[in-house]
Amino acid sequence: EQPLIKLKPQRTSSRELVNLDGLWKFTLASGVNDTSQPWTAPFPRGSLECPVPASYNDIFVDRDIHDHVGWAYYQRDVFVPKGWSKEQYFVRAESATHHGRIYVNDRLLAEHVGGYTPFEADITDFVTAGDKFRLTIGVNNELTHETIPPGKIEIGEGTGKRIQTYNHDFYNYAGLARSVWLYSVPRQHIEDITVVTDVEGETGLVNYKIKVASNSTEQIKISVIDEDGVVVANSSGAQGTVKINSVKLWQPGAAYLYQFVASIVDSRGKVVDTYSVATGVRTVRVSGSKFLINDKPFYFTGFGKHEDTAIRGKGHDQAYMVHDFQLMDWIGANSFRTSHYPYAEEVMDFADRHGIVVIDETPAVGLNIGLLGVSGGEAPKTFSQDNINNNTQKAHEQSIRELISRDKNHASVVMWSIANEPASQEDGAREYFEPLVKLTRELDPTRPVTFANVGLATYELDLISDLFDVDCLNRYFGWYSETGDLEEAEIALEKELRGWEKKFNKPIIMSEYGADTIAGLHSTLALPWSEEFQEQMLDMYHRVFDRLESMAGEHVWNFADFQTTVGTMRVDGNKKGVFTRDRKPKMAAHGLKARWTNITASR
């Protein structure tokens, strides 16, 4: 059985890597009944060209492309390097939102549902080394009640056109928003590596497990190399524990990474394949109401983020990535949540290298039909045959498997969040979530598990929180309720938090709190939407947090303004950013900086 997600392609002495980013030809399927098969021929001369990586929606000045529902196709020619005749080679797409297909010439070679995790096609038997082939990738952005995230396709009454609706508050960007690779591995190669670290006194333990393609009789050799390039430990075998004496721990704000290098070595001592995993040695544990990293209480400061920038949409961009981490450092943020889907793997690697702590979330957002007022007068039934059902749960299960398969080795990842704001107060929530929590723990017994709880599912109404390790709460007292009245809001917030504290005695992280704020709008009365209101509202929350024993962290919603679907509640997107969409600080940024740098310094 193959690992769900193969190791991120890497250039090593045994592996090669060709980046396929750049301009691809681009076209849309004309409708659901479109029977043309655009992958069977080169796209016509004069076709549109679309950059990869980027979401396609905002690239063109064309409302039909922006609002398109269905398949879109990207195409380019690719050469397989001529030196690869003895190798096995793959095309890998880091993401295709939400359903992707890889065609090599006329042939469909891979298909994958789930928009934020990689998939790949083994093309070895279909293209000879040295030859050129036509690579077409189809991407479909449709969401239904049985996908993760869920959505619904409505039919325009007058036009008959299809309209994608959904219950989540960010734009349904689509396309190839992350890199595409062509890469080679030796026929006999390492398919998967799992490392789990532990600490005993001064000794670091790296428990590892390696999966090799084909039942080779070759040896597996391990070496662990420190940041100075010194080999600090050796071992052999497909499974075991390597010990690092006088270990340097991976710490929040002070990353230290060892290279865990695994090699397949043949009987003559020749290295057949080698792969290296950047490994931070650290432990994570919840004890009472404390979240412990390396057995020390950790207090999360930071944000729920989005992959979102102008023009690129969700396209991964190195400049924005580095700048965002710079801003987090500037403001004293020690952590973030990958709200509301797994982020590009480059982001996870960066967090590992820079000591930023991550709560890693699945794309299960919007499992809540009552939230957007869709339910009319009747009690909403989110968990039912016509809405979130067994097939949705299967898709959710798959999203958990893929997230853990991809991100399990990241030291930065200290907790899994398996959903955002599900209707956890509704009938059926427990039956739906219990098996998912169990699965998460089976797949990774080492990390705490959480979900982000919605305001409606108060400590009295929520039906699932006892299944989890940490109470992550999204609350908008002063914004969606007690709007503009921070005195009322303060009382309501404190009551709610004390309720959770008393009932569960677990660490509480305020995983969302914030106010829409128009940069440049000012108000001496600190009325909603002004920069003054955002600042005063955050201050109010902080006063309450500081009165509670169980608070283990605060993530403001959101790091930056971001795009949403059009609607009467949003002006060119959600404006709860502490930074604007182009990453300029709003007034509240300075108060956060003062508070968070102080919190970090005092720990």
CB of 515 to ligand GCB, least distance (A): 9
Side chain identity, residue 423: A
Compute CA distances 358 → 169, 205, 348, whole Å.
21, 22, 8
> Any contact of residue 169 with ligand GCB (CB under 6 A)?
yes
- Choice among 345, 361, 421, 490 that is catalytic: 421
* Closer by beta carbon to ligand GCB, 41 or else 461: 461
* 578, two tokens: 């502490």
Instruction: Indicate which single residue of 273, 345, 490, 512 sits in contact with ligand GCB (rule: CB under 6 A).
Output: 512
Told to check if 97 binds ligand GCB by CB under 6 A, we report: no
**Of 420, 424, 517, 563, the one binding ligand GCB by CB under 6 A:** 420
Query: Terminus-to-terminus CA distance in the chain, angstroms?
Result: 45
List binders of ligand GCB among 522-581 (CB under 6 A): 557, 574, 576
Least distance (Å) from ligand GCB to the CB of residue 557? 6
Sites for ligand GCB among residues 317-346 (CB under 6 A) = 340
Q: Does the protein bind ligand GCB through residue 424 (CB under 6 A)? A: no
Q: How far is the CB of 421 from ligand GCB (least distance, A)?
A: 5
Q: Is 421 a catalytic residue?
A: yes
* CA distances (Å), origin 240, targets 101, 206, 210, 222, 426: 38, 8, 9, 10, 45
Rounded CA-CA distance 468/506 in Å is 9
Q: Let me know the angle formed at the C-alpha of 425 by 424 and 426, rounded to the nearest 5 degrees.
A: 95
Confirm or reject binding of residue 407 to ligand GCB (CB under 6 A): no
| Residue (of 119, 97, 94) closest to 171 by Cα position | 97
C-beta closer to ligand GCB: residue 43 or 171: 171
> Parallel, antiparallel, or unpaired: how do β-strands 119-122 and 219-225 relate?
unpaired
The sheet carrying 99-104 orders its strands as: 48-52, 22-28, 71-79, 132-140, 99-104, 107-113
The Cβ of residue 20 has, within 10 Å, a number of other Cβ atoms equal to: 20
* Residue pair 583/324 in contact by the 8 Å Cβ criterion: yes
Query: Does 474 sit near ligand GCB (CB under 6 A)?
Result: yes
As measured in angstroms, the least distance from the Cβ of 558 to ligand GCB is 7
User: Given the complex with ligand GCB, which of 169 and 471 has the nearer CB atom?
Assistant: 169
Nearer CB in complex with ligand GCB: 283/309:
309
421 near ligand GCB (CB under 6 A): yes
Q: Which residue has the tokens 């293209």?
A: 127
CB of 479 to ligand GCB, least distance (A): 8
Q: What is the largest CA-CA distance in the chain?
A: 79
Q: How far is the CB of 361 from ligand GCB (least distance, A)?
A: 10
Residue closest to ligand GCB, measured at CB? 169
Which amino acid is present at 76?
R
- Token duo for residue 123: 């093309």
Compute the least distance from the CB of residue 97 to ligand GCB, in Å. Answer: 17
Which residue's CB is nearer to ligand GCB, number 399 or number 420? 420
Convert residues 427-466 into a mask of x (bound to ligand GCB by CB under 6 A) and - (unbound).
Answer: ----------------------------------------
Q: How far apart are CA 47 and CA 98, in angstroms?
A: 23
- Report how far residue 517's alpha carbon sits from residue 538's, in angstroms, rounded to the nearest whole number: 12
Number of residues located near ligand GCB, criterion CB under 6 A: 9
Residue tagged active-site, from 402, 512, 531, 554: 512
CA dist., res. 463 & res. 433, Å (int)? 10
Catalytic residue list = 421, 512
Query: Site residues (CB under 6 A) for ligand GCB?
Result: 169, 340, 420-421, 474, 512, 557, 574, 576
